[in-house]
Amino acid sequence: MPLPADLPVVDHHCHLSPSGDGVRAAERFAREGGTDLFLTTHNWNHAPLRAVEDYRRQFEEMEALAGRIRTGTPVRVHLVVAPYPVDLVETAEALGLPAAVAVQEGALELAGRWVRDRRAVAIGEVGRPHFPVAPDRAAAAETVFRRALAVARESDCPAVVHSEDLDARGYRGVADLARAVGQPAGKVVKHYAREVVPTAGRAGIVPSFLARRDLVETVLDDPAPWFLETDFLDDPARPGAVMDLATVPRRASALVRDHPDLVDRLRTPFVESVRRVYGFDPTDGKERSG
């Protein structure tokens, strides 16, 4: 049984690189039935970003790559832009912590302008390092995280969060940070969710689950909103990491083949959740950024 023609197939979080597979990865995604990518900027050069202008170039290179994907494939691309929170640690080593915070906050303001100009649909990834750092670095990351959530509120868009794995207490903590600056919890997405915390324990935060087979099977009964993602890194040194870009459509196709009675449940991550969190209808075939 093929995927329904009116069902978008959405990878909510991936990275592509001008020096990696790029358009070829998007072609793989499309061949398997994928229709929509939420493409998140990242530092593919692995060098400290020392100025807001470095982030401007990063955003523009991703926008240009998105344009090539749109021209060369049927895939719709929705850009998500922000300074990666781990960059703060590396930039602090090069410039000192106050200057690194200033660069991140300036890049967040730039990201907010991109959203308001409809060149991107969300602020992300923002948050905190997922590994232990010195106390002054951790405190600075929290300051930048709060500002990121405020920029999302000012730009009337979702914030896509990078952090350590969250349990119910962690979800409440992120929700409290968001509400303190006026950002609704339902407009905050925890990307790279690897554990299923019951809906009542998520404090309104929206999980974007890694598209492992066991997770997909577990969350199908979960009420919206939630997403599926690969967090594909497109790093030539780590081919296929975290998951290959074709994974989400392959998971969807396997579900339709093995459990055709469950196909409508795929509308939760691919349609209903996009409508509720991002405010647009992915079934109408329109681009939302770029």
pLDDT digits (tens, 9 = 90+) for 109-131: 999 999 999 999 999 999 999 88
The pLDDT of residue 287 is 77
The pLDDT of residue 86 is 93
Q: HSE-up of 6 (CA within 13 Å, CB side)?
A: 3
Residue 4 lies in a domain: no
End-to-end Cα, the chain, rounded Å: 34
SS (H, E, C) the chain: CCCCCCCCCEEEEECCCCCCCCHHHHHHHHHCCCCEEEEECCCCCCCCCCCHHHHHHHHHHHHHHHHHHHHHCCCEEEEEECCCCCHHHHHHHHHCHHHHHHHHHHHHHHHHHHHHCCCCCEEEEEECCCCCCCHHHHHHHHHHHHHHHHHHHHHCCCEEEECCCCCHHHHHHHHHHHHHCCCCHHHEEEEEECCCCCHHHCCCCEEEEECCHHHHHHHCCCCCCCEEECCCCCCCCCCCCCCCCCHHHHHHHHHHHHCHHHHHHHHHHHHHHHHHHHCCCHHHCCCCCC
Tokens of 244: 């290959």
The residue type found at 58 is Q
The rounded distance, in Å, linking the Cα atoms of 117 and 145 is 22
pTM of the entire structure? Answer: 0.96
Residue 105 lies in a domain: yes
Residue 202 lies in a domain: yes
Write out pLDDT tens, residues 221-252. 999 899 999 999 998 888 878 999 999 999 99
Domain membership of residue 240 as a residue range: 13-284
Residue 289 lies in a domain: no
Write out pLDDT tens, residues 183-235. 999 999 999 999 999 999 999 999 999 999 999 999 999 998 999 999 999 98
pLDDT band at 155 (very low <50, low <70, confident <90, very high): very high
Residue 180 lies in a domain: yes
The rounded distance, in Å, linking the Cα atoms of 143 and 70 is 36
Q: Tell me the β-bridge partners of 123.
A: 81, 159
Residue 142 lies in a domain: yes
Counted domains in the chain: 1
The rounded distance, in Å, linking the Cα atoms of 13 and 210 is 9
- The answer to whether 38 and 14 are in contact (CB under 8 A) is yes
Mean pLDDT score across all residues of the chain = 95
The rounded distance, in Å, linking the Cα atoms of 105 and 84 is 11
Whether the upstream peptide bond of residue 142 has omega within 30° of 0, thus cis, is no
CATH of the domain at 231: 3.20.20.140
Q: Which of 246, 261, 287, 190 is nearest to 25 (CA)?
A: 246
Residue 1 lies in a domain: no
Residue 188 lies in a domain: yes
The rounded distance, in Å, linking the Cα atoms of 101 and 144 is 7
Whether the predicted pLDDT of 290 surpasses 70: no
Q: HSE-up of 141 (CA within 13 Å, CB side)?
A: 27
The pLDDT of residue 150 is 98
The pLDDT of residue 285 is 78
pLDDT above 90 as % of the chain? 87
Query: Nearest 10 degrees: CA dihedral of 233, 35, 187, 216?
Result: -70
The rounded distance, in Å, linking the Cα atoms of 13 and 124 is 10
